[in-house]
Amino acid sequence: MTVNFYAIKDEVRILGFDDGPFKRGDKNTLVVGAVYRGGRWMDGVMSTRVSVDGLDSSEKLIKLVADRRFMDVRVVMVDGIAFGGFNIVDINRVYEETGVPVIAVTRHMPDFKKIRAALKHLPDWQKRWTLIKKAGLPKPVETKPGKRIHIQNAGISPPDAESIVKISSTRSLLPEPLRMAHLIARGIVSGQSRGNA
């Protein structure tokens, strides 16, 4: 099942999540959500904390997405499907429990062999690996001429997901909601952040 977008407006409301940096020994890390109208401007910010290498990121995101103040959000984006180390976001579950489609964006194609090897040091590693496989293989999208990023999606058709990613990547290769969530999370946790766009 997918949500059908009959026409995608330039100002489609997107909620983009990224996590902040954390240090060895930190129990949890900041996750910031930036509410955007397309790739144009930001009109809301939300935040939560997820446990480092924990299993609570899907639940935490679902809670934020379901907030009634943000009911006009049409798409959720996540910067990769792993927050706070290997706290894997189950993008299908986020879609199923909120009704809002999810697009995961990564700049480069993940190295799944390496990820699998690293996962094995963690408890419940099979559970995490299952979530990663369930999210499907990232597909390339050209957001600037000759430059590709990679996306996975849940609850939305690949062409619709691709359109939304392209519409919202106005300033850099990445969709603005994710670029902003990244800048904010870094700036709050480490005291400063600077884009290189």
Residues in touch with a copy of itself (CB under 8 A): 30, 32-33, 35, 41-48, 64, 67, 69-70, 171, 180, 183-184, 186-188, 191-195, 197
Token readout for 109 is 């194609």
The CB-of-109 to a copy of itself minimum distance in angstroms stands at 27
The CB-of-54 to a copy of itself minimum distance in angstroms stands at 19
Q: Of 9 and 127, which has the nearer Cβ to a copy of itself?
A: 9
Counting beta carbons within 10 angstroms of the beta carbon of residue 131, is it exposed (0 to 12), middle (13 to 18) or buried (19 or more)? buried
Token readout for 167 is 């519409």
CB 15 within 8 A of CB 73: yes
Q: Of 110 and 187, which has the nearer Cβ to a copy of itself?
A: 187
Q: Of 17 and 129, which has the nearer Cβ to a copy of itself?
A: 17
The CB-of-138 to a copy of itself minimum distance in angstroms stands at 27
Spatial separation of the C-alpha atoms in residues 91 and 101, rounded to whole Å:
8
Q: Of 16 and 138, which has the nearer Cβ to a copy of itself?
A: 16
The CB-of-79 to a copy of itself minimum distance in angstroms stands at 15
Token readout for 173 is 């290769």
Token readout for 90 is 């189950």
Token readout for 18 is 């990224």
Q: Of 156 and 167, which has the nearer Cβ to a copy of itself?
A: 167
Token readout for 1 is 């099942």
The CB-of-55 to a copy of itself minimum distance in angstroms stands at 21
Using CA atoms in the order 89, 36, 101, 152, what is the torsion angle rounded to 10 degrees?
A: -60
